[in-house]
Amino acid sequence: MAVAVEELKAGGVVALPTETVYGLAADAFNAEAVAKIFEVKKRPSFDPLIVHLARAKDLAKVAVVPEELQDLVKKLTKEFWPGPLTLVLPKTEAVPDIVTSGLPTVAVRISKHEVMRGVAKELGNPIAAPSANIFGRISPTSASAVLAELGGRIPLVVDGGACGEGIESTIVAVDMDGGKPVLWMLRPGPVTREDLRKFARVAKPKEGKGQVAAPGQLESHYAPRTPLLLFEKPEDFVPEEGKTYGLLSYRGEEKDGYVGRHEWAVTEIMSPGSGKMSEAAVRLFHLLRKLDESGVDAIVAEPVSTARLGAAVMDRLRKAAGSAS
């Protein structure tokens, strides 16, 4: 970790593990360093970054919590930090505009992974860290996946093992609506809507002008280079003659209608037999990457239930399918 801290202090970028996916990290208070994140990832400047803290008391460095929201924010951070919940709050002047893409709000969380927290603590500043991949592509859940994406483009990848959650954090904007606190669900993730309802009303964001308020909101995201197809039911899939197809199956069961639908060139199963959504979430990006590297002409993904964690898995699949062309 010491080498990573020195690199960040020098204004560089490094890849660090979190419990969700690996992040491409820079000192959040160093605008020139943050600019390197956008350059390395080929990320558009209008897509804001998540800021990672070492501890809850550091929240005041990056965010101004309105008085009427302080009780709710305190409850949320006590329950879910460290962990995969990102809060969007009004930002302090210390946060460079490049981090928030010019927005008056900042997306912030504390990772459960001891490496990310430890590096932030030793650095003494918050860390800006989107996923450590080329923009729009499959998020990396291992050091080897980062090297496959960014090898030669960054000086250091800290290997913290496989990510325990496997999909990016839940993002909610903490706000007031009609005189009462509300959590606008900007991106589903490991902390589910049902988890959050215990603390405040959870709602979809109001219609705006299409401005991106948090990472992962673009319709096209998380995509393999191989076209990914997502159908509501098995019979909607009609294979094209001469093309090879890979299947991303939820549990590999014939009764789900996809396994026996076609002679697949390769099949990858997110949660073999058991159908555990937590296992599917952890394996999702890893298996998408395997299918992408298999040489098939297209990937077909089985849909999953959108209950609880399934909402986050389907969000990633829909956006990955929207990116493929």
Query: pLDDT tens digits, residue range 289-309?
Result: 999 999 999 999 999 999 999
Determine the residue type at 173.
A
Phi, psi at residue 176, to the nearest 5°?
A: -110, 145
Domain boundaries, the chain: 2-203, 228-323
pLDDT per position as a tens digit, 145-173? 999 999 999 999 999 999 999 999 999 99
**What is the CB neighbour count within 10 angstroms for residue 146?**
26
Q: What is the DSSP letter of 43?
A: -
Min mean pLDDT across 89-93, 113-117, 217-221, 277-281 is at: 217-221
pLDDT per position as a tens digit, 222-251? 789 999 999 989 999 999 999 999 999 999
Min mean pLDDT across 92-96, 274-278, 280-284 is at: 274-278
Distance separating alpha carbons of residues 77 and 96, to the nearest angstrom: 24
Common-topology check for domains 2-203 and 228-323 = no
Is the dihedral angle over the CA atoms 58, 61, 65, 66 positive or is it negative? positive
Say yes or no to pLDDT of 323 above 50.
no
CA-only gyration radius of the chain, Å: 20
Is the dihedral angle over the CA atoms 175, 176, 180, 186 positive or is it negative? negative
Confidence of residue 214 (pLDDT cuts 50, 70, 90): low
Is the dihedral angle over the CA atoms 307, 308, 311, 317 positive or is it negative? negative
H/E stretch holding 172 reads strand 170-177
The matching CATH number, chosen from 1.10.260.40, 2.30.30.30, 3.20.20.370, 3.40.50.11030, for 228-323 is 3.40.50.11030
Distance separating alpha carbons of residues 51 and 120, to the nearest angstrom: 10
pLDDT per position as a tens digit, 39-93? 999 999 889 999 999 999 999 999 999 999 999 999 999 999 999 999 999 999 9
Determine the residue type at 123.
L
As a CATH number, domain 2-203 is 3.90.870.10
Q: Going by C-beta distance under 8 Å and a sequence separation of 6 or more, which residues neighbour residue 38?
A: 44, 45, 98
